[in-house]
Structure 1
Amino acid sequence: MNSLRNSVRLVGNLGMDPEVKNFDNNKQLVKFSLATNETYKNDKGERVTETQWHNLIAWGSQAKFIGDYLKKGDEVAIEGKLTNKNWVDKDGNKRYMTEVVVNDFIKLKG
């Protein structure tokens, strides 16, 4: 039941080619964005589509596979967990970011 406490599942399209970073200790990190769409009808009966953008990261063998085989536009289903970051930028402003750390994924189309 603990795995349900912080669990995210998304289906969407990559908004960019994955960016792979290699570290000295042979670790790999991949970063990419994912767009999810929700469609509904408004008060006038018009069909409206809203897009949400998500920042995703993956480590290790997942990072290598994503970097090698996925590209902008590919449709994927992912499962992961939310993480929050904060930092102070060069202008002294506090910045915040929420990322999804990918645990598993399936390429659907692309």
Structure 2
Amino acid sequence: MIDLITLTGGLPRDAELRFTPQGAAVTNFTLANSDNRYDQEQNQWVKTRSMYLDVTIWNEAGNKQNPTPWAEMAANLKKGDQVAVTGKLITRSWETKEGEKRSKVEFNAYRYYTLPTAPQQQPNQAQQQWNNATQQGQTATSGAWSTPPAQSGQQNQEPPF
């Protein structure tokens, strides 16, 4: 059975590097992901649900084939970074001071990969015209958008297929 999965999302806060009493490095961060849908009444994208998952990355100091200090590198992750993590889900259980049993699902990552973020782009001329027309209440059947382009003197030309 293969229990390795990859998840993607953004960090809602900076990653935190800690060390165990034995000196092993471990980095913790939260991975957030949201589903969005377009609400035509509000004329904008809205979040429908969000998921937050705690991620832990340990150094692999004992692994001679891959001595990369993943936990120490992950400590550089900052709020807003988009990442993909590969690892497995685990359940951690504990007992509170009051004797109540608790458990939590976490993600134990072996690797992480930073994802590029899209640069902020200015809308092109056609997009700006469309935005202006829709703000003025025009539709595809009214205003400037309803007038077909001039067809070099040929009226009612049949399609070429």
For normalisation by structure 2, the TM-score amounts to: 0.57
How far the C-alpha of 1:30 sits from its partner, in A, is 0.9
**d(CA) in 1 for partners of 2:112, 2:102:** 28
Moved more, 75-84 or 13-22: 13-22
Is 1:106 the counterpart of 2:119? The answer is no
Is 1:15 the counterpart of 2:19? The answer is no
Aligned length: 104
Aligned-pair identity in percent equals 27
1:1-110 matches, within 5 Å, as 2=1, 4=2, 6-40=3-37, 48-49=46-47, 50-60=49-59, 61-67=69-75, 69-109=76-116
**d(CA) in 2 for partners of 1:29, 1:17:** 14
Q: Which has the higher strand share?
A: 1
For the pair shown, which has the larger CA radius of gyration, 1 or 2? 2
Q: Which consecutive segments of 4 or more residues in structure 1 shift more than 2 A?
A: 23-26, 39-42, 46-49
Runs of 5+ unmatched residues, structure 2 = 60-68, 118-161
**d(CA) in 1 for partners of 2:15, 2:107:** 14
How far the C-alpha of 1:11 sits from its partner, in A, is 1.1
**d(CA) in 2 for partners of 1:92, 1:25:** 28
* Higher RCO (C-alpha 8 Å, min separation 6): 1
Tell me the amino acid that sits aligned with residue 76 of structure 1.
Answer: V
Tell me the amino acid that sits aligned with residue 103 of structure 2.
Answer: Y
For normalisation by structure 1, the TM-score amounts to: 0.81
How far the C-alpha of 1:25 sits from its partner, in A, is 3.1
**d(CA) in 2 for partners of 1:34, 1:15:** 7
